[in-house]
Copies of this chain bind each other. A is one copy, B any other.
Amino acid sequence: MIVALDVGGTSMKGAIMDRALDRTATVRRPTPRGEAAVAAVVDFVADLFTQAGGAEAIGVAVPGIVDDETGVAVHSENIGWHDAPFRDLIEKRTGVPVAVGHDVRAGGTAELRLGAARGTRNSLVIPIGTGIAAAMVIDGHLCVGNGFAGEIGHMSVGADEPCVCGGTGCLEAVASGPAIARRYARRTGHETTADAVAARVAEGEPDAVAIWAETVGWLGTALAAATVIAAPEVIVIGGGLSRAGDLLLAPLTEDIYERLTFQRRPRLTTARFADEAGCVGAGLWALDLLESR
């Protein structure tokens, strides 16, 4: 058996899987804020390990800046930890091999090997949820950059909105799920969620339509810039916002294509694994550990 954990900005998804990645259990817990989240992650993995009656290997996907080679979570804006040595902590606790890496690269691994980016050598897999980042594959190589590659959520799109990172106008500050809900609430006075905004867009509600069009423009700005640099054949949208489907993909594709000239036009699609991509990718990493030993 294998234990896989995907740590998100608001909740953690844990799974017990066999070597075919078929699950025998899936468990969710909320993600605490700050350094308390470190112990919560290690405890959650240890509990799953016990529940599985032991496991052969463990894969853990975490957000922020992560050094996949040392298994250290260097920094997370949303959660608030610094230099958390997850691989060492979990190996000490369980005694089995542990792979720790970026949640978005875990999702990218899942989409690349089993999902929407399969068969391509150049792709961007971009979950849009509490945060926004990209798993970037160029010439078949999944880019890490010591943990700093693909942080498209903190590319400036020229918006006048402060970001949790300390910058202004970052993509994540205007186009993440919470940001879409916040912008809609500010415009209308009604608290809501990004899913609800999408539902109102489908109904043609003017405020929702206006917020959505702005969001598409900002996503288009950042994805066109990323396309100019990274030359993806396919852009895979994942995370909560991918539930909007063609309501997002159709105008976003049009927006990006309008910004490109001679560049290769990427195909846009939604993730196969939706918000399960991180857990599947963490499972694939755990399998990789077993194969390499």
Contact = CB atoms under 8 A, between A and B. Distances in A.
26 contacts: A65-B262, A122-B145, A122-B146, A138-B138, A138-B141, A139-B141, A141-B141, A145-B231, A145-B264, A146-B231, A146-B264, A148-B231, A148-B264, A149-B229, A149-B231, A150-B229, A151-B228, A152-B229, A154-B261, A155-B225, A158-B158, A163-B261, A166-B262, A225-B225, A226-B229, A229-B229
Contacts of A136: 229
Interface of A: 65, 75, 77, 122, 134, 136, 138-139, 141, 143-146, 148-152, 154-156, 158, 163, 165-167, 221, 224-226, 228-231, 259-264
Given A149-B231, A165-B261, 11 more contacts: A75-B262, A122-B145, A139-B149, A141-B141, A146-B231, A150-B229, A152-B228, A154-B228, A154-B263, A166-B262, A167-B261
Contacts of A149: 122, 138-139, 229-231
A126 to B, nearest CB: 11
